[in-house]
Amino acid sequence: MSTVAVFSPAKINLYLAVINRRKDGFHEIVSLVVPVCFGDSLWISLEGNQGKISLDCDMAEIPMNRENLVWKAVELLREVHPFRENVHISLKKRVPVGAGLGGGSSNAVAVLRGLNQLQGNPLNKEVLAVLASRLGSDCPLFLRDGPSLIRGRGEIIDELDESLLSRLRGRKVLLFKPGFSVSTAWAYQKLASSGGEAYIGEEVVEEKFAAYRKGDLSLEELMTNSFQSIVGKKFPAIPLLLEQLKNRFEIPVLMSGSGSACFALLEERNQVEELENTIKAAWGLGTFLEETTLL
């Protein structure tokens, strides 16, 4: 039996602008996405030759069948590189579901990478990127090991210069999620039916990124999420807490992806325990909290 262990990082969106809805039904986005040092762990094994797939996970609500992107990743890789070995995947989940942290997409890409490694790396990065985009719009970014600027529906990834990367890597961040989740499909539907109020013009987006690249705009000033106002109308607990944290602790805070998880960028001066206690007081003792760093 051959086995490989793969780390599957969560991500946050430091900037997420939805520009418009395309004719193909997808939305045009621009997003600065950064993986973090917190995530899930997968163990991928090959044994036997019946072509079977099996999956186990320590989180009860995770489907153990074709509904799981992990399963679909195995089938997709077999389409382009057929192999008969049985695949077994053990998944240890730490990233909460329905959080906007990319856990499921990251897991699927981890399987693509792990299986490719077990097969002797027959597929190059370009082929893996095509497969990842077939799994989901936010999957290709997890083939990168650091911050990415993504465009289109998420499949176009721009290179970031080293000076920009160095300003992001290693920065401390606190992730926090309430006891409820937000459906990404629902969030996009609400965005599309909002009459364009949450869309951000492409010219505005490019001007902000140009200013950020030159250092004329701080990361705190850049941070935006088109979904935050839409999601906040149904779940006011999110914007209410973010406003409280911003005013009381003077820290940059934002919702990640389509929610419901949020994050705060931390400085050495921040009293993290007091910050966490404030979050739990607002959202309950069962609130998910994780202090980590940007990759």
Distance CA 143, CA 139 (A): 8
Question: Which are the contacts of 209, defined by CB distance < 8 A and separation ≥ 6?
Answer: 15, 30, 32, 149, 222
Task: Kindly report the three-state secondary structure assignment for every residue of 207-254.
Answer: HHHHHHHHCCCCHHHHCEEHHHHHHHHHCCHHHHHHHHHHHHHCCCEE
DSSP 8-class letter at 180:
-
- Judge contact between 49 and 12, C-beta under 8 A: no
58 is an active site residue:
no
Length of the chain: 295
- Judge contact between 147 and 168, C-beta under 8 A: yes
214 is an active site residue:
no
E strands, 138-205, where? Answer: 148-151, 156-158, 172-177
Which tokens hold the place of 104? 């499921």
Bond into 260 cis (ω within 30): yes
**What burial class does residue 280 get, using C-beta atoms within 10 Å of its C-beta: 0-12 exposed, 13-18 middle, 19+ buried?**
middle
Catalytic residue among 58, 72, 125, 138: 138
Catalytic site positions: 11, 138
